[in-house]
Amino acid sequence: MNRGPYLFLGAFVILAFSWTAAILANQLGYGAVTPFYDDLAGEAFPAKQPGIVARGAKVYTDLGCATCHTQQVRRADLGSDLARGWGERASVGRDYIQEQHVQLGSNHIGPDLRNVGARYENEDPLYELLYSPSEDSAKPAYRFLFEETEINGQVSHDAIRVDTAAGSQVVPTERGRSLVAYLAYRNDTYAYPETNYIPPEPEAEDTAEAEEEGH
């Protein structure tokens, strides 16, 4: 009797069950996380994203920003993100629960953007970086997110500070404003209970083995 098909089917069922269990376990665990209500502040964190921020997230996706940028600050024992100034603390699952699409990314071609909004006092530098990045930057210019128009009377309140032809101004489009609003909103500074996690010290045996491997 040829048992090959039965063995294949059994292996397939086991692998499928294991994969499904792993996915469901993570999904159920993440789905159970809720905003943290701060009695002193009288509000819950993280707050729901404003509409323009949600629209900016779609622009971020359309432009493929996650190809070069991450949005996850790793713990000090897992990377140098904190040392680079990419955040005040490591990212935790609760940071993402108000986002429809979590854009973690996987490459550090550019800096992590999870807390890019905390690095600037206002949105002006973000507009300028999108319109005209520095010469030594690998980041492309996104000038299609802006319009150059003639100045009729006073300069528009939305005009950005870049060099233009005499009598003209550069203003962001709706997509440009949405993207910058989204980036400016990247600012995870609230300290949730789980952000106080301290990684365990390596055991003596593990430390000795690591030292032997180093030699």
The pLDDT of residue 195? 83
Which has the closest alpha carbon to 69: 99, 109, 101, 96?
109
Q: What is the pLDDT of residues 106-145, one digit of tens each?
A: 898 999 999 999 999 999 999 999 999 887 777 889 999 9
pLDDT of residue 196 exceeding 80, the answer is no
Nearest-angstrom CA–CA distance, 134 and 132? 7
Classify residue 178 as exposed, middle or buried by CB count within 10 Å of its CB (0-12, 13-18, 19+).
buried
Asked whether 128 and 185 are in contact (CB, 8 A), the reply is no
Q: What is the reported pTM?
A: 0.77
The encoded tokens of residue 96 equal: 């993402």
The pLDDT of residue 18? 63
The pLDDT of residue 57? 97
pLDDT of residue 202 exceeding 90, the answer is no
Q: What is the pLDDT of residues 18-67, one digit of tens each?
A: 656 555 555 555 567 899 999 999 999 999 999 999 999 999 999 999 99
The sign of the torsion formed by the CA atoms of 114, 78, 199, 119 equals: negative
Q: What is the pLDDT of residues 156-181, one digit of tens each?
A: 888 888 888 788 899 999 999 999 99
pLDDT of residue 215 exceeding 80, the answer is no
Which has the closest alpha carbon to 62: 185, 178, 186?
178
In CATH, what is the architecture of 35-192?
Orthogonal Bundle (1.10)
Could you state, in order of their start, the residue ranges of all structural domains in the chain?
35-192
